A and B are shown apart, each in its own frame.
Chain A
Amino acid sequence: MSGPSFTPILLAALALPVLGQGAAAQESLPDAPYPESEAQTHDYNGLRNAYFGDLHVHTKYSFDAFMFAVRATPADAYRYARGEAIRHPAGYDVRLSDPPLDFMAVTDHAVYLGSLAAMEDPGSTIYQHELSDTLITTDRARIAAAWRSFRTLMPQYRELSDPSVVKWAWGDIIATAEEFYEPGRLTTFIGYEYSLGPEGRHHHRNVIFAGSDVPPAPFSILDSDNPEDLWAWLDGLRADGIESLAIPHNMNQSDGTVFVGTDWAGAPITADYAETRMRNEPLVEITQVKGTSETHPALSPNDEWAGFEIVDYTLMNGQPVSVFKGGYARDGLNTGLEFQAREGFNPFRFGFIGSSDTHNGAGPYEEDNYFSKVGLRDSRPSYRGSVPPGGAQDWDVTLLPDTVRMASWGASGLAGVWAEENTREAIYAALRRKETFATSGPRIRLRLFAGGALPETLAGEAWPIEMAYETGVPMGGSLSLTEGESPHLFVWAVRDPRSGWLQRAQIVKGWVVDGEAREQVYDVACSDGLTPDPETHRCPDNGATVNMETCEVSRDVGATELKTVWTDPDFDPVTPAYYYLRVLENPSCRWSTWDAIRAGTPPTPNRPATIQERAWSSPIWYAPS
C-alpha cells in the first residue's frame, strides 16, 4: 500500500493557531465509557482495540525456506515484527515502512522441521548429511533442481525427521517466542504449520497455541495425513489443558476440496464432525501472498470485486485449478448455510483473518515495499514477473511459467483482532470468539455489530460502541431476534492513515432459498456524500483515479471513515443467513506496477495495474430458532 502525501495536512496544522492558555481542565469530564479492570497493560480498553498481526511466518526451520537460501531465524522474524531491519537472502535489508506489528506467530512446516538447517549445524545428528550437497545451495540457478530432488529423495531418508532434529528446531521456536513476548508491545504465539497436500491440493493449516504450555513435538503429516487426526490430537491436548486452534489457508489452491459435504473418508458430514471441526478450526486465512480465498468471479458473478488477487494454479504441481467451488471462503459459508437449513448444523461457521505466509521471516504487506516471499527465487522484479526478463524494455518476450505465476501473488495480508489489550490472553480470546478481520495489507479498521434492537440512530451517537455491544453482537457472533425484528447492522470503518482513502463499505449477505444458498453484495456506505442506489445497491463512482506514471492517487476523493446503520431490506426470518462487512479503498498501484515504474518498464500485461486494497470482517450468523 502506498501512503498518499500528507504534506498539505501537515502544512494546515502549522498554519492553525494552537490555543489553550488559561482555564484548567474542569472536573466534569466524562469518564471513558468502559469499566476499569485488572488490565495488564496501559492499552487496556474494555471496548476493545484493533491489533494487527501475522499468524503465518516461515523461517529457516522450514525445509523449503532453507532451500530458498533463507537463513532468517525466529528471532529475526520477531525483530522484523518490531520494526527492525533484517537481511534478505539476496543481500539487501527488508523492513516495515508501516508501524510495527502488534502480534506474530512463527509457523514453520512441522514436516521436516529443521531438517535442512540441521544439515549445517555441527551439533546435529545429520550434520553434513549426504543430501546436503544436493538440497542446500545458495545458487539461485540450482534451487529448482534441488526442489525436484527433494520431493523424490526426502521420503527415503527417515533420519531427516529424527526426533532430535525436530526437538532442536521446536525448542528454539518455543524459546524465541517466549523471549520476544512483551505484553503491550509484541504478542508472540508458539505455532507451526500442518502441511497436508494430497496430489498438490492444499489442505494446509497453522496451529496456534494459546500459551506457553505446548506439546514436546508438533503433529505433522508424517504422523497422519488426515486432518481429522490432527483435530483429535488437538482435542487430546485440550483435555490436558493445552489450548490451541488450527487455521486453514490457501483454500484457493485446494482445487475445490476444502469446503465439501463429506469427511476425509468421503462419508457425509455429521453434526459431530461439524462440531469437532468448528471447535478446532474457528477461523480461516482468506488472504495471503499466494492469493485471496474470499471468492472467485466464477462463483460470484454478480460481485464486481470478486476477482481480487486471484491465484488459480495449485502450488505443488503448477496445474491450473479446475474446481473453484469448495475452495473459497464465501462458498464455504454458503455450503454451511445449506447444511444449517437442511440438517440443522453448520460445519463451516468460520471467521476471517489474513496473514502473509512469508518464507523470508518477513511479510511483504506493502505494495510499494514488496519483496515477495520465497527467498532467492523471487528476490528481483524480473524473477517475480513484474519487470521483463533479461533487461528487455517491453513485454514482447517469452516468460517462464513460474514467473507468470509469481506475478499473480499479492502484497497481502494482515490479521486484525478486537481485543482489550495486546496480550496473549486477550488476543487469543479474540481469535476464539472470531472477533477478527482480514486486510489485504493496510491497517484498515472496521467494526460490525448486528442486533434486532440495535438503534437505527446509532451512527450519530457520541459513544456508539458501548451501545453496540449492549444491543448487538460483534463480528464473529450469532444474532438472535425476537419475533417481528429485522437485523440492524452497525458498520463503521476507518482508513489506515498511511494508506489510501476509503471508497465504499459493503455488506455481503448469504441466505438460503429452497435449500440452495444465495449471495448478494450491498453497498451500504459511500464516500464523498454519495448514497447507494436502492435498486442496484451500488455507490456511484466517486471519480478516484491513479496516475500511472507516478502511482499518485487523487486527493480529496474518498472517505477517512464510513459509518452507517443498515437494515436488511430482504430479510426472511425463516432461513439462515450470514452477513459480513467488506470495505474497499480507492484504487492504487499494485506492487507489480511499483516495480515496473522503478525499473522504467511498462507494468505487466498479465495482471491489473491497480488494485483496491480492502478489509473483511468475520461474519455474523443468523439461524431461525
Chain B
Amino acid sequence: MTTPPHRLLSRLVREPLLHFLILGAALFVLSNTLQGERNERSLQIHVTGERIAALASAWEIQRGAPPDAEQLHSLVIEDVQEEILAREAMAMGLDGDDTIIRRRLAQKLRFLLEDASLPAAPGEGELEAFYAAHRAEYARPARLDFRHVYFSASSREDPAGDALAAFSASDGGLPEGGDPFFLPGQYRQATEVRIGTDFGRGFWQALQTAPEGVWSGPHTSAFGEHLVLVESRTPSEDVPLGEVREEVIADWQRETQTGETERKLHELVSRYTIVLDDELLAQ
C-alpha cells in the first residue's frame, strides 16, 4: 500500500455515509444502554486500520496496483455494508435454511477438528507399539526363485498329459519338449504380485506346495501347464523399524489424526439426542 494510512483515514472521516453510520450506531448505543453489552457490541462496526490495510492489499494483489483513495473508500463502504447485511441476515435467521452456508460451516469445523487432532511426533513407545501392530504391512513380501517349462493350452490337445509325460521321461532332470513361453523362463525373487500379474490368479498358491530343489508339476496357469523347479524360497521378512521409520511415523500420524477427529466428532454427536423418523429408512 503506497497511500499513507493517515491520509486515508482523514479521507474516510470526511465520508458522509460513514458519518451517518457512526452517528446512527452512537445514537443506538445511547438509547439502548440498558439492553446490555452483547447487543451494544453487535450494533457497532469498528473498521480497524488492519482491516483497511487488508482490503487495500487484496485489491493490490488482484489488480496489480494499490487502490487510490477513492477506490479504497468505496471498498470500505462495501465491506461495511456487507458486514451489516450479513449480521442482519443472520439475525433474521436467513442462514438457517441455506445448505451452502450450512455445509461451509460444517466443513470449517471439520477442518478445525482435523487440525486440532493432528498429533505431534509419536513417543518412542507409541511408535514401537504402532509398528508392532502393523508389522505385516511393512514386511518384505515372500519371494520365490524358480524355473519352469511350459506346455501351451492353445497349441496342445492335452497339455497336462504332455507335461506329465515330459516329467516322467526327464528322470528328475530338465524336462524336454516344452513350448516357448512369452515371459521369462526363470524368475528370481518374484513376489505374489509379480506372479499373479504374469501367470494369473492361483499360480502363486500352486507353487506354495511345490517341493524345493526338484522339478514338480504340472502346475496350471492362465496359459497352460508348467513343470516347475523351485530353486529357493525367501519367506516374508520383517523390516526393522529403523528402515521404515519415516513411513511408520506418517502412517501413525494419519491414523491417529483420523481416530482423534472421529472421537471428537463422536463427542459432539453424543451431546445430542437424535430422533430418527425411520419409516422411510425402513422401506
Binding site for B on A (CB under 8 A): 6, 9-10, 12-13, 16-26, 28-30, 32, 42-43, 45, 47, 49, 83, 99-100, 125-126, 130, 137-139, 157-159, 443, 445, 447, 460-464, 492, 494-495, 497-498, 559-561, 563
| Stretch from B12-20, B123-131, B216-224 contacting the other chain | B216-224
Contact of B174 among A12, A28, A43 (CB under 8 A): A28
Other A-B pairs beyond A25-B215, A139-B100, 19, CB < 8 Å? A17-B164, A18-B219, A20-B215, A22-B214, A23-B172, A25-B173, A25-B174, A28-B174, A32-B185, A99-B196, A99-B197, A138-B103, A460-B180, A497-B200, A498-B200, A498-B201, A561-B182, A561-B223, A563-B180
B185 proximity list for chain A (CB < 8 A): 32, 463
- Cβ contact within 8 Å between A25 and B222: no
Q: List 14 A-B contacts (CB under 8 A).
A: A6-B222, A13-B206, A16-B160, A18-B217, A20-B211, A22-B214, A25-B174, A25-B213, A126-B61, A158-B64, A463-B180, A497-B198, A559-B154, A561-B154
Q: A561 CA to B181 CA in the complex, in Å?
A: 10
Q: How far is the CB of B187 from chain A (nearest CB, A)?
A: 9
- Cβ contact within 8 Å between A20 and B182: no
Q: Which residue of B lies closest to A131 (CB)?
A: B62
Contact of A492 among B182, B186, B188, B189 (CB under 8 A): B182
B58 proximity list for chain A (CB < 8 A): 130
B273 at interface (Cβ–Cβ under 8 A)?
no
- Cβ contact within 8 Å between B61 and A125: yes
B43 at interface (Cβ–Cβ under 8 A)?
no
Contact of B160 among A12, A125, A498 (CB under 8 A): A12
A561 proximity list for chain B (CB < 8 A): 152, 154, 182, 223
B193 at interface (Cβ–Cβ under 8 A)?
yes
B209 at interface (Cβ–Cβ under 8 A)?
yes
- Cβ contact within 8 Å between B164 and A32: no
Q: Which residue of B lies closest to A13 (CB)?
A: B220
Contact of A23 among B160, B173, B188, B209 (CB under 8 A): B173
Q: A464 CA to B199 CA in the complex, in Å?
A: 20
Q: Which residue of A lies closest to B171 (CB)?
A: A23
Q: How far is the CB of A328 from chain B (nearest CB, A)?
A: 30
User: A497 and B220 in contact (CB under 8 A), knowing A25-B213, A26-B174?
Assistant: no
Q: How far is the CB of B131 from chain A (nearest CB, A)?
A: 19
Interface residues of B in 88-136 (CB under 8 A from A): 99-100, 103, 107
Q: A99 CA to B209 CA in the complex, in Å?
A: 23
- Cβ contact within 8 Å between A29 and B147: yes
Question: In the complex, which of the residues A20, A21, A25, A83 has the most CB atoms of chain B within 10 Å of its own CB atom?
Answer: A20
User: A99 and B193 in contact (CB under 8 A), knowing A26-B174, A158-B64?
Assistant: yes
Q: How far is the CB of A70 from chain B (nearest CB, A)?
A: 15
A447 proximity list for chain B (CB < 8 A): 182
B198 proximity list for chain A (CB < 8 A): 497
A28 proximity list for chain B (CB < 8 A): 173-174
Q: Which residue of B lies closest to A49 (CB)?
A: B184
A445 proximity list for chain B (CB < 8 A): 182-183
- Cβ contact within 8 Å between A10 and B202: yes
A23 proximity list for chain B (CB < 8 A): 171-173, 214
Interface residues of B in 143-180 (CB under 8 A from A): 143, 147, 152-154, 160, 164, 167, 171-174, 178, 180
B64 proximity list for chain A (CB < 8 A): 158
Q: Which residue of A lies closest to B153 (CB)?
A: A560
B194 at interface (Cβ–Cβ under 8 A)?
yes
Q: How far is the CB of B74 from chain A (nearest CB, A)?
A: 15
Q: Which residue of A lies closest to B224 (CB)?
A: A560
A138 proximity list for chain B (CB < 8 A): 103, 107
Contact of A32 among B143, B180, B186 (CB under 8 A): B186
